[in-house]
Structure 1
Amino acid sequence: MIDMLVVDLSRWQFAATAMYHFIFVPLTLGLSFMMAIMESVYVMTGRQVWRKATLFWGTLFGINFAMGVATGIVMEFQFGMNWSYYSHYVGDIFGAPLAIEGLMAFFLEATFIGLFFFGWDRLSKVGHLVVTWLTALGANFSALWILVANGWMQNPVGAKFNPDTMRMEITDFMAVIFNPVAQAKFVHTVSAGYLTGAVFVLAISSLFLIKGKHVELARRSAVVAASFGLASALSVVVLGDESGYVATEHQMMKIAALEAMYETEPAPAPWTLIGLPGADGRLGFHISIPWLGGLITTRSFDRPLPGIDELVERAEDRIRSGIIAYNALQQIRADATDQDARAVFDDYWADLGYGLLLKKYRADIENATEDEIVMAAQDTVPSVWPLFWTFRIMMGLGFFYIGFFALWFYRASRGWIDTHKPLLWFSLFTLPLPWIAIESGWFIAEFGRQPWVVEGVLPTFYAASGLTVIDLVLSLSMFVLIYTVLIVIMVLLMVRVIKAGPKDNLLAIMPAADDEDDFVIAALPANRATQELGS
């Protein structure tokens, strides 16, 4: 029988490393394009303040990128260590975009980052600008392939289970790449990263303006951040709406859980603005907006939105079909030439994953009782209320940033960048909010997919490795400790860079003369910095 404690600890470990890692990713995406925009202005105008701005924000980008690499590599090893059956079962599909990401996107990004830092005095202005834009594109290509892999887990298209190899295999790689869920997730995720970069630049620029330091650079950076941030905030909300529509097509249970909607709503369904659980755990007191839910999720006035109860009934039917597929698979394994069993399996294989849900309750699922089928169907319902409130936190922050950047864009267009100290302080203290919204979005995407590690194909509990509780407790504690230390180091390094302020030359992290165990930010000529870092 499945040890659910091992499964839960494995989930906690991957969630911890993934959410730590995604502290760095959005800022990398946002800063990469912002420094490319600033260097473009420098090349077009020749004004040194834009070169200084590119170096300053690029240094912060470099620190963040290094930490993102250090925390991201571990996650790929966890697929084999903590989720070995998952790696066996779907590695043929999932491994392909990860390999492409490493070979194409990551090497592209890493190579041009080196040229960005050490090519200022060796490349022409235009040549270095091309390098900076390629760095930004490399960061986005990296996100693309990761989200193609994740999108396939949400909507497993272009693949089929092979009863001879006992694993999922690709049948249409282009369908995997152009998976509508993956494409919607990609544009929504990178837009959130752009917004994060804009908030970061605006917050640090506000700090400089409050202190009256580096005013010329801060004013220009704030103008770029206000414009880029407004476009990003609008994109996040619009593309988030598209992501929700795609989820309605392929993950109806997730949508029903986000709305705490147990009963099927007639078309067009309302959207619940706020709500509280009643005595039975279902939606009690709530405030709803008529028609909005149906328009957002179905783009129509005549399509009803199925509720949790109806979806559970559908799951029961699919579990029964999954039992038929499982029985046919056992016959094929006993006699590979049994064509009748293969014909049955071809008809029912799409529901095999639903049949595997019964493995939580018994090994011989072909003998499952009706009660066990009902329990397995109930397992297809994720925890409703954490999803309900997390979704509203994410949406609220998305609309907040539209208003926030609209105000900043208006003031920037009037030249009122540093004339309102309360707004500057407010901008500084909003710095953590994009990460709250982004982590909420990933919580919704991954927690809302449960009980599936691959939607409708492989239950999460069935994908874990046969580790012990002690193994997982020790490794989870170690990862949390190490990642926390890395985040502290990153924050300290960034604080040192910000305190040192923008410089005219290449910024390099060098040991302090008065304390060799500490680090400070030193401005060195480009050729000397290269020699020192090389040694």
Structure 2
Amino acid sequence: MELDVVSLSRLQFAMTALYHFLFVPLTIGLSILLATMETVYVMTGREIWKRMVKFWGTLFGINFVLGVATGLTMEFQFGMNWAYFSQYVGDVFGAPLAIEGLMAFFMEATFVGLFFFGWDRLSKRQHLAATWAVAIGTNFSALWILIANGWMQHPIGSEFNPETMRMEVTSFFDVLFNPVAQAKFVHTVSAGYVTAAIFMLGISSWYMLKGRHVAIARRSIAIASAFGFASALSVVVLGDESGYEANLNQKMKLATIEAMWETEPAPASFNLIAFPDMAKRDNSFAIEVPYVMGLIATRSLTEEIPGIKELVESSKDRIRQGVIAWDALQKIRSTNGDVDQEVRETFQINQHNLGYAYLLLPFAADPLNATNEEIDAAAWSAVPNVWPMFYAFRIMVACGFFFILLTGVFFYLASSGKLDHLRRNQRWILQIAVLSIPLPWIACEMGWIIAEYGRQPWIIEGMLPTAQAVSNLSVTEVLLTLAGFVLLYTVLLVIEVALMIKYIRKGPEDGELPEHSPAEAATPIPMAAE
């Protein structure tokens, strides 16, 4: 990576975004689990469920605070490091981000206080309503953020205004129901549910291994495994939808995920393992699984999937058409919009390729007189590095199938009343659950690398290159803020982990039932009865 403002600004935003997303999935998932457990408490009146809500709620609170703090920092970066991007998308981003703050964040921030401090001030049902409000607000917050992000991946419902040099909303309905945004939302939220389930499963397994808080641990495993198994299955199904949308709207991203250099005739094969070579623009080794990619990306066995090289050739054509739009735009701008109708019509016809003309700027001093070599270089700059895309996707998928297996095993053991037998005779299964706690975060981060790195060099797919979106800053200024964020976030991470470990070791505060008390030593844990 070159030490320039664009690269450093990208690195800073990537670092803060990936760090922020350490907290988001756990917050999303735990909020629903807390509401579910408290619902059981209100329905049954059993105090053990209240103790479970309070204990897991403490861990939720620690995570929630760090998530809020890091999320605010991310939004400030739009103005600090991405000034032109903020000006360019303000009309589109304004509504979803404002609704997220006013409708979702205020909702969860208000009711989270009632959740922690309302136990003795509210009735059971009132407190339950507050807990569900936190859960709904948390998930709605993710919805509006992902609507904004989904628009960056597939910018529909808007139009570029050459006079203002801004994107303007033409249909808020299209922005809201953007298929990419909706697919990202359900996939991301389901991943959050899996993260919380594995987190609860791993900690509860640790308690089982230690022989502590066994009654709470058994119930936590039962609810986490059931919730996690359903969520892990849904992640795979909804991930398939994301792959289908990528083939429709982000073909280059899909091609790099698959290290697919040549166009695949129908039915397309899936590269299970490959060694992409960016220099040779080919794979030095690959193991293919027939038909699979065709089913994922096209849901058919009759459609071919374009490869990287074909997409690069298509980009060259779009660059040439984009230059025509770029030339017309310069004329409109130089005359303050007082140009012939023919110039405007020329711009309107070619404006959907305007962003591709911007790809030429790092390679050609004058886009109107760009050489074939410069156009070729610009077209290949639209190809993300294949290695990280290819392997990030496979790490994410491997984790996803492992989660199905892990939660499925524990769901069977919990529903058949074999958890105590497991603790005595097959402790290695519990140990695997404990060691699996970091895996959902690895899978989530891989997913975001695929989503965001795979969109490069675009900050808005096909419309605005990342290099054109940065603020007018010096390398030194960006380095200083980057160093500051790294230092601050490192301190916050240490505090977060220390607090989590402290309260996990401490366990539920309201006492601990004897390990084999008559009331709690019953066999399976049927969820309806509990």
- Report TM bin, short chain: over 0.9
Aligned pairs for 1:388-399 within 5 A: 388-399=390-401
1:60-103 Cα shifts (integer Å, max 9, x gaps): 10110000001110111101110111111112112321111111
Q: Does 1:360 align with 2:362?
A: yes
Q: Does 1:422 align with 2:423?
A: no
1:86-140 Cα shifts (integer Å, max 9, x gaps): 1111121123211111111100000010011111111111111111111001000
Q: Does 1:403 align with 2:409?
A: no
1:397-442 Cα shifts (integer Å, max 9, x gaps): 1011111111111111111123221111110011000000000000
Q: Residue 280 of structure 1: CA displacement?
A: 2.4
Q: Residue 337 of structure 1: CA displacement?
A: 2.9
Per the alignment, residue 337 of structure 1 pairs with: 338
* Secondary structure of 2:274's aligned partner: strand
* Secondary structure of 2:286's aligned partner: strand
Per the alignment, residue 530 of structure 1 pairs with: none
* Secondary structure of 1:360's aligned partner: coil
Q: Residue 277 of structure 1: CA displacement?
A: 3.3
CA–CA separation in structure 2 for the residues paired with 1:6 and 1:159: 29
Per the alignment, residue 60 of structure 1 pairs with: 59
Per the alignment, residue 147 of structure 2 pairs with: 148
Q: Tell whether the 8 Å contact from 1:25 to 1:193 is kept in structure 2 after alignment.
A: yes
1:26-78 Cα shifts (integer Å, max 9, x gaps): 00011101111110100010000000000000111011000000111011110
CA–CA separation in structure 1 for the residues paired with 2:487 and 2:120: 40
CA–CA separation in structure 1 for the residues paired with 2:504 and 2:373: 61
Which moved further from structure 2: 24-33 or 90-99?
Answer: 90-99
Q: Residue 363 of structure 1: CA displacement?
A: 4.6
Q: Does 1:100 align with 2:102?
A: no
Q: Does 1:41 align with 2:40?
A: yes
Per the alignment, residue 527 of structure 1 pairs with: none
Aligned pairs for 1:100-139 within 5 A: 100-139=99-138
Per the alignment, residue 474 of structure 1 pairs with: 480
Q: Residue 4 of structure 1: CA displacement?
A: 6.9
Per the alignment, residue 164 of structure 1 pairs with: 163
CA–CA separation in structure 2 for the residues paired with 1:264 and 1:281: 13
Q: Tell whether the 8 Å contact from 1:418 to 1:424 is kept in structure 2 after alignment.
A: no
CA–CA separation in structure 1 for the residues paired with 2:366 and 2:281: 33
Aligned pairs for 1:360-509 within 5 A: 360-420=362-422, 421-504=427-510
Q: Tell whether the 8 Å contact from 2:268 to 2:292 is kept in structure 1 after alignment.
A: yes
Q: Which runs of 5+ in 1 are unaligned?
A: 506-535
Aligned pairs for 1:511-526 within 5 A: none
1:263-286 Cα shifts (integer Å, max 9, x gaps): 101111001111123682521222
Per the alignment, residue 258 of structure 1 pairs with: 257
Per the alignment, residue 295 of structure 1 pairs with: 295
Identity rate, percent = 60
**Aligned letter for 1:447?**
Y
* Secondary structure of 2:284's aligned partner: strand
Per the alignment, residue 516 of structure 2 pairs with: none
* Secondary structure of 2:121's aligned partner: coil
1:240-299 Cα shifts (integer Å, max 9, x gaps): 111111111000000000111111011110011111236825212221111110111011
Q: Tell whether the 8 Å contact from 1:325 to 1:348 is kept in structure 2 after alignment.
A: yes
* Secondary structure of 1:465's aligned partner: coil
CA–CA separation in structure 1 for the residues paired with 2:20 and 2:210: 32
* Secondary structure of 1:266's aligned partner: coil
Q: Does 1:207 align with 2:206?
A: yes
1:343-368 Cα shifts (integer Å, max 9, x gaps): 11111111100111111123532222
* Secondary structure of 2:418's aligned partner: coil
CA–CA separation in structure 2 for the residues paired with 1:291 and 1:377: 29
Per the alignment, residue 325 of structure 1 pairs with: 325
CA–CA separation in structure 2 for the residues paired with 1:204 and 1:400: 18
Q: Does 1:248 align with 2:247?
A: yes
CA–CA separation in structure 2 for the residues paired with 1:250 and 1:499: 48
CA–CA separation in structure 2 for the residues paired with 1:495 and 1:310: 52
Q: Tell whether the 8 Å contact from 1:206 to 1:425 is kept in structure 2 after alignment.
A: yes
* Secondary structure of 1:272's aligned partner: strand
* Secondary structure of 1:309's aligned partner: helix
Q: Tell whether the 8 Å contact from 2:3 to 2:475 is kept in structure 1 after alignment.
A: no
CA–CA separation in structure 2 for the residues paired with 1:295 and 1:113: 43
Q: Tell whether the 8 Å contact from 2:139 to 2:189 is kept in structure 1 after alignment.
A: yes
CA–CA separation in structure 2 for the residues paired with 1:419 and 1:388: 41
* Secondary structure of 1:359's aligned partner: coil
Per the alignment, residue 350 of structure 2 pairs with: 348
Q: Which runs of 5+ in 2 are unaligned?
A: 512-530
* Secondary structure of 1:390's aligned partner: helix
Q: Residue 484 of structure 1: CA displacement?
A: 1.1
Q: Does 1:313 align with 2:313?
A: yes
**Aligned letter for 1:17?**
T
CA–CA separation in structure 1 for the residues paired with 2:498 and 2:415: 34
Per the alignment, residue 76 of structure 1 pairs with: 75
Q: Tell whether the 8 Å contact from 1:157 to 1:176 is kept in structure 2 after alignment.
A: yes
Q: Tell whether the 8 Å contact from 1:4 to 1:461 is kept in structure 2 after alignment.
A: no
* Secondary structure of 1:269's aligned partner: coil
Q: Residue 373 of structure 1: CA displacement?
A: 1.1
* Secondary structure of 2:41's aligned partner: helix
CA–CA separation in structure 2 for the residues paired with 1:282 and 1:316: 20
**Aligned letter for 1:350?**
H
Per the alignment, residue 523 of structure 1 pairs with: none
CA–CA separation in structure 2 for the residues paired with 1:251 and 1:393: 21
CA–CA separation in structure 1 for the residues paired with 2:365 and 2:177: 37
**Aligned letter for 2:345?**
A
Q: Tell whether the 8 Å contact from 2:316 to 2:375 is kept in structure 1 after alignment.
A: yes
Q: CA RMSD in A?
A: 1.3
**Aligned letter for 1:403?**
L
TM-score by length of 2: 0.93
CA–CA separation in structure 2 for the residues paired with 1:487 and 1:14: 17
